Structure 1
Amino acid sequence: MQVPPAELEHLLHTNPEIDDVAVVPYPDEEAGQIPMAFVVRKPGSNITAAQVMEFVAEQVSPYKKIRRVSFINSIPKSPSGKILRRELVAYALSNGSSKL
């Protein structure tokens, strides 16, 4: 099943504790790929990965659920503001879900 990253990003932007977010595909043995979210917390927020996943799970079909979350300081973007997903995918594959 295909999951449009923009749909999940839009949903996550509605969370008052999230400042910015990017969703990328992450390799999975069973599903092929699963959605992974890179989240920038708002100042003072202590939102956890479990809370991010639960927030999405309550509002989407089971196959669209976020399965991995990584907290980062900023989302890499091009000068025009486009999310640089390749950089995030490469980072996820090389470092797992540790912090930037």
Structure 2
Amino acid sequence: MESEGWLKTGDLCYFDYDGFLFIVDRLKELIKYKAYQVPPAELERYLQSIPDVVDAAVIPYPDEEAGQIPMAYVVRKPGSKICEAQIMEIIAKQVSPYKKIRKVAFINAIPKTPAGKILRRELVKHALSGASSKL
């Protein structure tokens, strides 16, 4: 607790017009794309709104030029043929240019804790290993 009475949790939040507090992401999970900060949770909400997508997670992927780029792991609905280019195009129409997803991988399930929190470190490790193995 700080002297002004604030408790630093590392959460990103906002108050709406009615005074309700909304927690939207974790500060340490932000993707640093060039000079911008990209919140993965925002992109995940857009991805999960796509009818062909069952679940999704967004991670930082190292990029020599940008520092990090947003990479999506996507679980398709059974029988869906949606591809990487289609997903990137759908998201690009909904977000600022610096928030665009620049890489997509398809997996069978998003790794999560028993409480349902995305295990981003497992996805980052998987992405960096260059593994084509299924999670």
- Report TM bin, short chain: over 0.9
C-alpha displacement at 1:95, in angstroms?
A: 1.4
What pairs up with 1:37-52 in 2 under 5 angstroms?
37-52=72-87
The corresponding residue for 2:112 is 77
Question: Once superposed, which parts of structure 1, at least 4 consecutive aligned residues long, lie more than 3 Å away?
Answer: none
Which of structures 1 and 2 has the larger relative contact order (alpha carbons within 8 angstroms, sep 6+)? 1
Task: Decide which structure has greater helix share.
Answer: 1
Count how many residue pairs are aligned between Structure 1 and Structure 2. 99
Tell me how far apart the structure 2 counterparts of residues 90 and 55 of structure 1 sit (CA, whole Å).
Answer: 26
Q: % of aligned pairs identical?
A: 70
| 1:61-100 equivalent positions in 2, closer than 5 A | 61-95=96-130, 98=132, 100=134
Matched, 1:13 2:43: no
Shift of 1:44: 1.1
> Structure 2 unaligned runs (5+)?
1-35
Given the alignment of the two structures, is residue 31 of structure 1 paired with residue 66 of structure 2, yes or no? Answer: yes
Name the SS for the 2:60 alignment partner. strand
Q: Which amino acid aligns with 1:29?
A: E
One-letter amino acid matched to 2:38: V
* Distance (whole Å) between structure 1 residues aligned to residue 117 and residue 47 of structure 2: 17
Q: Note the aligned Cα RMSD (angstroms).
A: 1.0
Q: Secondary structure at the match of 2:38?
A: coil
Distance 1:83 1:75, change over 3 A: same
Tell me which protein shows more strand as a share of its residues: 2
Q: What per-residue deviation string (whole Å, max 9, x for no partner) do you get for residues 13-50 of structure 1?
A: 11000000000000001110000000000011100000
TM-score, length-normalised on structure 1? 0.96
Structure 1 unaligned residues grouped into runs of 5+: none
Alpha-carbon offset, residue 99 of structure 1? 5.4
TM-score relative to the length of structure 2: 0.71
Tell me which structure has the larger Cα radius of gyration. Answer: 2
